[in-house]
Amino acid sequence: MALTPGFDLFQLPEEHQELRAVIRDLAEKQIAPYAADVDENERFPEEALKALNESGFNAIHVPEEFGGQGADSVAACIVIEEVARVCGSSSLIPAVNKLGTMGLILKGSDELKAKVLPDIANGEMASYALTEREAGSDAGSMKTRAVREGDEWVINGSKCFITNGGRSTWYTVMAVTDPEKGANGISAFMVHKDDEGFRVGGLEHKLGIKGSPTAELYFENCRIPADRMIGEEGTGFKTALETLDHTRPTIGAQALGIAQGALDYAVGYVQERQQFGKPIAAFQNTQFMLADMRMKVDAARLMVYTAAANAERGTSEDGGRLGLMAANAKTFASDVAMQVTTDAVQLLGGYGFTRDFPVERMMRDAKITQIYEGTNQICRMVAGRQILAEGKNR
């Protein structure tokens, strides 16, 4: 973000403001009309996928040399935010495409990038497979194994809570290649949906983001070429953590968009809803609630964009600063989303509790942002440890 001469406020560059206008128009016209139906029928948002693919907003982070737009992290956050403003489920298309390919972009060979990334730029999807039933926050305890056999790796195990599982073509999969080395014995691989021994299991029945499938993955002697490993053997866990440092701001952006959508709807509603002979917007307690909601959303936006901008300048290896900023932005924005959507339901009163209005859906969708890509408790641990490390280095 640049300081605009002559003004005492921060402004995004003109190209980012133009991007917001374009993606907002697309989201309102081609995604919002289907959001309630997507949620009600727990179906994948096909209309959103089509609109995002046709406009190139499905994966704008993919570098230009591999068919993408090569957009920066702030631009990616703007796209996710604006889609989430009207449909949380649909925002997981661009968000998880970035999550599912970030490790490859950071650490993969050019040959592997050339195999995978053009598919994503052309409309296929990618997912990220780290979590297991007994290895959630404690990802280092994963049991999925990969064993080298000649020119192939053979993977056995399972993954759970995989966003867009069954819809994606490519999966970044973490597996143990040397159980004696703990976290340093974990490696990362790119698995294709058609690989021998790979299958998708049942779907989770969820509170929110019902249009985005959350699936279990099974690897039963799943064979992949040896050149599908991302980076060097044993670097997978580091790649996973570095990936999250780059993608946690995108979850912050999703949370931010959901919160903004709820705030926008509440502002319109309170100006129309009459009680005691006047709009409820005329009452001071309503204005106080709106003021608090707006303050929180604006603060969250600054944190998310700052973390995203920082991702363009360094990595988690730079003393952990990116990890601190990403964890804080994701945590704050998701907490704000939960608070703001809950307040929006309150402002709508009994109507807010019904499916006839979108704020109850937004409240349900907001909850997961406090949980995935590192629970907010884990993110606070990440931030706390970095703060203490910084203190020791002063």
Per DSSP, the three-state class of 310 is: helix
Short-list 321, 340, 366, 334, CA closest to 207: 366
Residue 373 falls in the annotated catalytic set: yes
Q: Where do we find the tokens 């349900």?
A: 364
Closest CA to 316 of 256, 383, 254: 383
Mark 328-363 as b/e (b = at least 16 C-beta within 10 Å): bbbbbbbbbbbbbbbbbbebbeeebeeeebbbbbbb
* Sequence-distant (≥ 6) Cβ neighbours of residue 215 within 8 angstroms: 162, 165, 166, 200, 201, 202, 203, 204
The whole-angstrom separation of Cα 84 and Cα 99 is: 16
Q: Choosing from 124, 132, 216, 373, which is the catalytic residue?
A: 373
Distance of alpha carbon 267 from alpha carbon 281, whole angstroms:
8
Chain-centre distance for alpha carbon 183: 24
CA 392 to chain centre: 32
Residue of 324, 340, 341, 319 lying closest to 394 (CA atoms): 319
Q: What is the DSSP letter of 45?
A: -
Vertex 155: Cα angle to 153 and 160 (nearest 5): 145
Under DSSP, is residue 218 helix (H, G, I), strand (E, B) or coil? strand
Are 265 and 357 in contact, with CB atoms under 8 Å apart? yes
Residue with tokens 């706390």: 384
Contacts (Cβ under 8 Å, ≥6 apart) of 392: none
Q: For residues 84 and 78, give the distance between their C-alpha atoms in angstroms, rounded to a whole number.
A: 10
Task: Give the side-chain half-sphere CA count within 13 A for 51.
Answer: 21
Strands 186-192 and 145-149: unpaired
Indicate which residues carry an active-site annotation.
Answer: 373
